[in-house]
Structure 1
Amino acid sequence: MLWCNDWPIKQRRRLFPSALPQGMLLVHFLLPGQKKGNNGFGIRLGEYIMKKSIFVLLLTIMPLIAAQEAFTAEKKIAICTIKEAITPVTEKYIKRSMDEIEIQNIDALMIVLDTPGGLLESTRNIVQILLNSKRDTIVYVAPKGARAGSAGVFITLAAKYAAMAPACNIGAAHPVTIGQESGKDDNAKNLMKKVENDTIAFIDSIARIRNRNREWAIKAVRESVSVSSEEALKSNIINYIAEDETSLVKKIYGSNVKFEIKPIKKNWAELLLTILANPNLAYFLMILGFYGILYEIIHPGTIFSGALGALFLIISLYSMQYLPFSFAGFALIVLSFILFIMEIFVTSYGLLTIGGLISLVIGSAMLFDSPSAFFRVSLSSITTVVVTTIIVVILLIFVVSKALRKKASSGKEGMIEQKGIALEDFKNGKGKILIHGEIWTALSEREIKKGEEVKVKEVSGLKVKVV
């Protein structure tokens, strides 16, 4: 078809009687030398058709060229690595990584994952980030032997592209609740059932959106099933199995695609918090902080112990904001140390110490309110702290009691019961004595001879009373 609307109507009708009213012509074979007629047009028809054909050809191939350029354009892939339990620190790291790829116009974010599980709340937030991302999201369970357990299952399923390295496993996403093992408390059973149903609905919605195996996803929560990389690929749980990041990118975007991988590393604050976001470490730092403050109270003026204790306590409290911290547990631990201090200065025959130990044990168990074992203080840590605290308190009581019973060795109080020698015969109950190389004026109610040994009973100004 050739548009000829720029020709006059009379010329179109005279040259091409079969033309449509709008000027649409059906041209099969036209010789380059064929003319339009004797109407004054000097342009040959073949030349006109050739120009129009080139124009149409360019319009046709330009989109194809653009598509080819887009296909062969270099892909930019950002990689962040997670090799720990899922915490608010992990959530913060992934959110920052997602913000960076948006700012730098990077095509995709790849999360290299190896986790045993983590906090459900942080997991939900990470899943929201992945599902709502405008960029491609890739979760790659790696290296070989890595796992995506519990919380890792949700994160893997939520990615646009899910992949695993060989010899990895994924699954066991059943929520864990404190006390569920006993199975005797009906309220605990009902609570566990609610948590389980809510988690099942959550993972089912993820699998539905990403078109993954919903049946397996539900079993992973309800029955804690776990599968290998190969089985996960066969069961439509993941999209790919890849040896490394490079081969995975080629499998996703094509083997001929050019790509650039940019790692997004944790900053110093995230690295520090990753270390500190450990309930046992935060617990030990807090106890050491209380020890330092306790020593400063008993021995005021040392400064170093108090400053170091305050530093440990502040670091501990800072790390606890990224953990499921319980204020009630912290208050009980503070109460226990108050009772220990009172025991040192108040005679309670051990009752305050017993109360402090009970408060310390309960507070330690309640310090982190989490159903996950990853975010609770271990029994061995609590036992270590309790035994150490008993030893420290006993030593402090012994040292303070000894200091309180010890007689003064200087000043007026230090003179009491000290022995000296009379330097002269006492006259009218008064004379000179020598005590520790010092000459004192002594008073006595009895007659004392020169060279006689005397004992100080009272100090009054610059005079002493002896017997």
Structure 2
Amino acid sequence: MLKRISDRVQLRGAKVAILMLLAGLAVLASGQQEVRPHVAELSIEGPIGPATTDYLVRTMEEAQELGAQLVVIQMDTPGGLDAATRDIIKHILASPIPVATYVHPAGARAASAGTYILYASHIAAMTPATTLGAATPVQMGGVPGQPPPGEAPESAEKESGEQEKEKDEKPGEKKEAPTSGTALERKMVNDSVAFIRGLARRHGRNADWAEKAVREAATLTASEALELNVIDIVAKDNEDLLRQVAGRKVALETGEITLSADIAELPVEAYEPDWRNEILALITNPQIAYILLLIGIYGLIFEGYNPGALVPGIVGIICLLLAFYALQVLPINYAGLALIIVGALLIVAEVFMPSFGALGIGGVIALVIGSVMLIDSDVPGMQVSRGLIGAIAGVSGLALLGFLMAVGKSLRKPRVAIDQALVGRTAIVSNIEDGEVLVHVDGEIWSAHCDQPLQPGQRVRIVGQKGLKLQVEPG
């Protein structure tokens, strides 16, 4: 009885200890996620893609839950994908807390997609020696408005006539920007102009210059942007930025609010990308997505030719799924994807159905052309590197050349009848039982006959072959 009571007491004590441990962990977790007023600092560095959108959206929501009074996005970008940029802008416009986009540090830029994000932000700021602009949408094949390669430029008479017309225009009169290029290019430019003008009017910024940035790829320095009412603030550092925004009125979707006068005194907390965002950034890198695609294709092909190998198939499926996930958020050309698949199939087919190079060379050509066409974007950092494509093509070509040389070498060997292929080879006696001799040659066990006594482990030479039986003699 006493032992039973003691066991119950020990069990209850263990339960209490576990509950206290869980309570301590909960308190510790709540301490790490304490809700308190602060300024959230985020960063955009490099091309804007799906990983950037995921990082900004999730981090801004987290900062809001933890009591952020202002979100400062430090930006240095050459541009990015249109879909990712619009997702970021939608989230900024719908944000219940003010968002200040700050082009920082010195030498940074807010080019192309960065200009749109700057215009969409509640507060637009730059540091000295930074630039913004060049917001013309681009696509595969060139910049809208430029004549196609090989097309003659407009005549000198037309240019001079346009110049005379410009002289006759009254100062300050708004001039309609000329339209040129294909219908698709004009559609892209006009859509972008309407989008950025709408963002400019929402925050009372210079809409005419915004249109010029889209149509003519115009750029400005920080001081020029402030003078033309393109941005709101020029600040030398974060502290200066927070001092200047203190007490400022901003228009949110829910209405106008005034930033606290002591916002510069709030702690600044940096929100870094987490492991999930790092993995997403790695996978959606066009170079990595391209390599994963090739590994996946070759893995499945080799698994098909060697059923049961498992490793090529498992690795191939995983890599292919990761590649497809990355490609579905990247602007890809499906003709390029099809050419890559066909090229890989032709290269592998050359190994199993030798065509003296016809299939292999065609496969390498299809692989290179498809790789160049794969990512349908001119955004810096969002293309497959030409060096990587050249390296893949070079390795494929060398492998193909080695295979063709091996095939040629085998064709130059003298032909031997199938029932005499082992004559002249050396074998090892593996077993002798009831007068039957078994020899080991090239990983195979053969039945043999010898006119002289042999011992297991003895080396012999094959002097004849009759059916499945070898004639050997001590070697």
Greater displacement, 275-284 / 383-392: 275-284
2:352 to 336, 345, 353: 345
CA shift at 1:456, angstroms?
1.0
CA shift at 1:208, angstroms?
0.7
2:329 to 318, 322, 333: 322
1:213 corresponds in structure 2 to 206
- State the alpha-carbon separation in 1 of the partners of residues 202 and 462 from structure 2: 100
CA shift at 1:304, angstroms?
6.2
What is the CA RMSD across the aligned residues, in angstroms? 3.9
CA shift at 1:287, angstroms?
3.1
CA shift at 1:88, angstroms?
1.6
8 A contact 1:113–1:141 mirrored in 2? yes
8 A contact 1:289–1:308 mirrored in 2? yes
| Change over 3 Å in CA distance of 1:405–1:298 after alignment to 2 | farther
1:134 corresponds in structure 2 to 96
1:238 corresponds in structure 2 to 231
2:24 corresponds in structure 1 to none
Within a 5 Å distance, the mapping from 1:258-277 to structure 2 comes to 258-277=265-284
2:258 corresponds in structure 1 to none
1:446 corresponds in structure 2 to none
What SS does the aligned partner of 1:232 have?
Answer: helix
Matched, 1:108 2:101: no
| Change over 3 Å in CA distance of 1:454–1:112 after alignment to 2 | closer
1:191 to 173, 184, 202: 184
2:449 corresponds in structure 1 to 441
* Aligned-partner residue type, residue 355 of structure 2: S
| Change over 3 Å in CA distance of 1:371–1:145 after alignment to 2 | closer
C-alpha deviations, 1:245-299, integer Å up to 9, x for none? 2221111015754312222221101122223322123223433555566677778
Matched, 1:200 2:200: no
Within a 5 Å distance, the mapping from 1:249-398 to structure 2 comes to 249-254=242-247, 256-257=262-263, 258-290=265-297, 312-398=319-405
Q: TM-score, normalised by structure 2?
A: 0.67
Matched, 1:88 2:54: no
Name structure 2 gaps, 5 residues minimum: 1-35, 152-179, 248-260, 427-435, 452-460
8 A contact 2:350–2:360 mirrored in 1? yes
2:20 corresponds in structure 1 to none
Matched, 1:459 2:467: yes
C-alpha deviations, 1:188-235, integer Å up to 9, x for none? 722111101111111111001110011111111111111111111111
8 A contact 1:183–1:189 mirrored in 2? no
- State the alpha-carbon separation in 1 of the partners of residues 124 and 464 from structure 2: 91
- State the alpha-carbon separation in 1 of the partners of residues 286 and 69 from structure 2: 37
- State the alpha-carbon separation in 1 of the partners of residues 305 and 447 from structure 2: 37
CA shift at 1:441, angstroms?
3.4
Equivalent residue pairs, number: 370
8 A contact 1:148–1:171 mirrored in 2? yes
2:141 corresponds in structure 1 to 179
What SS does the aligned partner of 2:182 have?
Answer: helix
Q: Calculate percent identity across the aligned residue pairs.
A: 34
C-alpha deviations, 1:352-397, integer Å up to 9, x for none? 1122123212321232233535422233332222122111223345
C-alpha deviations, 1:115-144, integer Å up to 9, x for none? 100011111121111122221111011111
| Change over 3 Å in CA distance of 1:132–1:459 after alignment to 2 | same
Within a 5 Å distance, the mapping from 1:387-426 to structure 2 comes to 387-398=394-405, 416-418=422-424
Matched, 1:98 2:91: no
Matched, 1:161 2:123: yes
* Aligned-partner residue type, residue 339 of structure 1: L
What SS does the aligned partner of 1:107 have?
Answer: strand
CA shift at 1:336, angstroms?
1.3
8 A contact 1:415–1:459 mirrored in 2? no
Greater displacement, 245-254 / 306-315: 306-315
8 A contact 1:179–1:188 mirrored in 2? no
8 A contact 2:79–2:380 mirrored in 1? no
Larger Rg: 1
1:37 corresponds in structure 2 to none
What SS does the aligned partner of 1:111 have?
Answer: strand
CA shift at 1:314, angstroms?
4.6
- State the alpha-carbon separation in 2 of the partners of residues 148 and 240 from structure 1: 15
1:59 corresponds in structure 2 to none
CA shift at 1:348, angstroms?
1.7
Q: TM-score, normalised by structure 1?
A: 0.68
8 A contact 1:285–1:316 mirrored in 2? yes
Higher relative contact order (CA 8 A, sep 6+): 2
C-alpha deviations, 1:316-363, integer Å up to 9, x for none? 444334322344433321221111111112132222112212321232
Greater displacement, 381-390 / 97-106: 97-106
- State the alpha-carbon separation in 2 of the partners of residues 77 and 256 from structure 1: 12
8 A contact 2:464–2:470 mirrored in 1? no
| Change over 3 Å in CA distance of 1:298–1:393 after alignment to 2 | farther
- State the alpha-carbon separation in 2 of the partners of residues 233 and 275 from structure 1: 37
- State the alpha-carbon separation in 2 of the partners of residues 178 and 417 from structure 1: 64
